[in-house]
Amino acid sequence: MDAYHVAVVGVGAVGQEMVRVLRQRRFPLRELRLLARTGREIEIDGERYSVQVAAPEAFEGIQIALFAGTEGEKGAAVTLAEEAIRRGAVVIDNGSDFRLDPRVPLVVPEVNGDTLADHRGIIANPNCSTAQLVHVLKPIHDLARLRRVIVSTYQSISGAGGGAVTELEAQVRALVAGAPLPPFQNIPAQLAMNVLPSCWRFLENGFQDEEWKMVAETRKILGEPDLAVTPTTVRVPVIRGHGESIYLETERKVTVDEARAALAAFPGIRIIDDTSPTERDPHRRTAPTPLDAAHRDETFVGRIREDPHAPNGLCLWCVADNLRKGAALNAVQIAEELIRRGLLGSTA
């Protein structure tokens, strides 16, 4: 089997998870090069790695560059992706800079892996909330064509990066100790013992940019430019794993059994929806929680039920690990899919 020279750019929450995923999936590595703003030694799961400064020359000889740096004009992908591609690498970017560029495939391999064939050197990984949403929507869409989707998210703090996780932990410790909260840096307000429905940038239409990413990216990935998607994104005091309450309407009625069968047969989806009451607690039902999804690869689905008020309406709940399916795992799966389809090195 061929083995590849791989770079991971950024060694924060997502970059470190990428290293873990590459190792756990036994990705065929000839070399793993870690790059970040500052060079240093780091430890991931007890193993030491040296991190080099991310400069254009650092991509010499790299075939796959997994980007997990910051976004925007001065971010890693905008400043360095072209340099990596020029040196022969295929770039898989976790940030939002290229996701809506019509020349860049935006990919969840189980959903639209076929669009990788058109890549010109850069492939975008969707926003974490979008990745698990389209993963769940696709089998239902294939079954009965979606007409509309209303989704509310329960997003964990690791979605905001490693610094935000440390800050939430400090908030919790301060509250428990009865001490003043630490200054707000990565989190705009008190999240410990609270939920924040307005912690992203607001757009003129009243939606937050996180919500609009879900609209535009879902449409692009499903190839449905007019699909009605209405999200509300909320940050919750969870470390890892995003939950989503999804309401959807389809062109024809989909029964719970049909939905369950289609979801269960779809790669990467696992249903936890035990509706058989136990003798001890006849009212208890089992549904997946962020703790069930943390450090796991599957997108978990539960609470599948028909809407009693709309003939073609279906409600469900899903959870996935935002650092894995929402970021690192999906990026590595894209790299695996490129290899499987013989698409490495096919840059225009």
Q: Give the end-to-end CA distance of the chain in Å, rounded to a whole number.
A: 25
DSSP SS3 for 136: helix
Question: Smallest gap, in angstroms, from Cβ of residue 317 to ligand NAP?
Answer: 19
Instruction: Figure out which of the listed residues 38, 48, 265, 308 binds ligand NAP, where binding follows CB under 6 A.
Output: 38
Q: Annotated catalytic, 315? A: no
132 binds ligand NAP (CB under 6 A): no
Give the residue with the Cβ less far from ligand NAP, 75 or 121.
75
68 binds ligand NAP (CB under 6 A): yes
Separation between Cα atoms, residue 118 and residue 127, nearest integer Å: 21
Question: Smallest gap, in angstroms, from Cβ of residue 68 to ligand NAP?
Answer: 4
Separation between Cα atoms, residue 254 and residue 32, nearest integer Å: 46
Contacts (CB under 6 A) with ligand NAP, residues 79-98: 79, 94-95
Q: What long-range pairs does 192-199 form, CB within 8 A, spacing at least 24?
A: 192/168, 192/237, 193/237, 194/237, 195/154, 195/234, 195/235, 195/236, 195/237, 196/234, 196/235, 196/236, 197/232, 197/233, 197/234, 197/235, 199/235
Q: Annotated catalytic, 242? A: yes
State the catalytic residue, choosing from 5, 119, 135, 242.
242
Instruction: Figure out which of the listed residues 6, 7, 8, 11 binds ligand NAP, where binding follows CB under 6 A.
Output: 11
State the catalytic residue, choosing from 5, 128, 135, 141.
128
What are the start-end ranges of the H helices in 97-161? 109-112, 128-144
Query: At residue 24, what are phi and psi to the nearest 5 degrees?
Result: -65, -35
Stretch of 20-28, 30-38, 142-150, 281-289 contacting ligand NAP, by CB under 6 A: 30-38
Contacts (CB under 6 A) with ligand NAP, residues 153-192: 158-159, 161-163
128 binds ligand NAP (CB under 6 A): yes
Annotated catalytic residues are 128, 242
